[in-house]
Structure 1
Amino acid sequence: MLFSTGCATMFNGSSQTINIRSNDTDAKLYVNEEYMGKNQAVYTFKKKENYVIKAEKQGCKTTAITPQKSFDPTTLLGLLIDWGIISILVVDGAATGSWQKFAQTSYVVDPDCQ
């Protein structure tokens, strides 16, 4: 049981809920080409994966952003368990990606309508 999870995974999970919205009520929102709806959406991002958020509207240029990730310092607690060998490198790193987190939990993406 001791080695079955890393600290970042245990305390913060291996996914994050992300809110996405557009100031344009007719904008269609996509996450990795999957249609999420118009104007606003909520999506669960797996920390191990990479995502592209797009806002599209007919007659406008599509806007795409790639959510950035940062290091989750909770990961370092694994040094106290097993010097980080299993808990950080294997569980939080390779298996779940929990040693990183998305820098923002809310994004505003508008199509480029000039």
Structure 2
Amino acid sequence: MMVIISHWNGCLMFLLPRLYEFPHDSWVAVDKLTGKDWTEQYSWALFRAMSHMLCIGYGQEPPTSIMDLWLVMISMISGATCYALFIGNATNMIHQFDSSRRQYTEK
């Protein structure tokens, strides 16, 4: 699930600057990725999305426009949601491993 959300987020990271024809202050133009191969563009977009989702920083530079700012916030919120779901599911699995002992103790 995290990989799919990271992919969608990376595609969104690149799609919005592209729709605005790569403004000079967008991360794509700043990193000089407008004329590069699609694999390099996708790799950097995925890296940027995953670094936001894992809350390890803004990437190479902080957001410079309102569009970048909203993308970063959406990315961080989706990453925090995935992290919370992961912790909740892991906790639930741990509790289910010892459910018979817990039931015995409750009785």
Higher helix residue share:
2
Return the index of the structure with the highest Cα Rg: 2
Under a length normalisation based on structure 1, what TM-score does the superposition of the two structures give?
0.36
TM-score by length of structure 2 reads 0.37
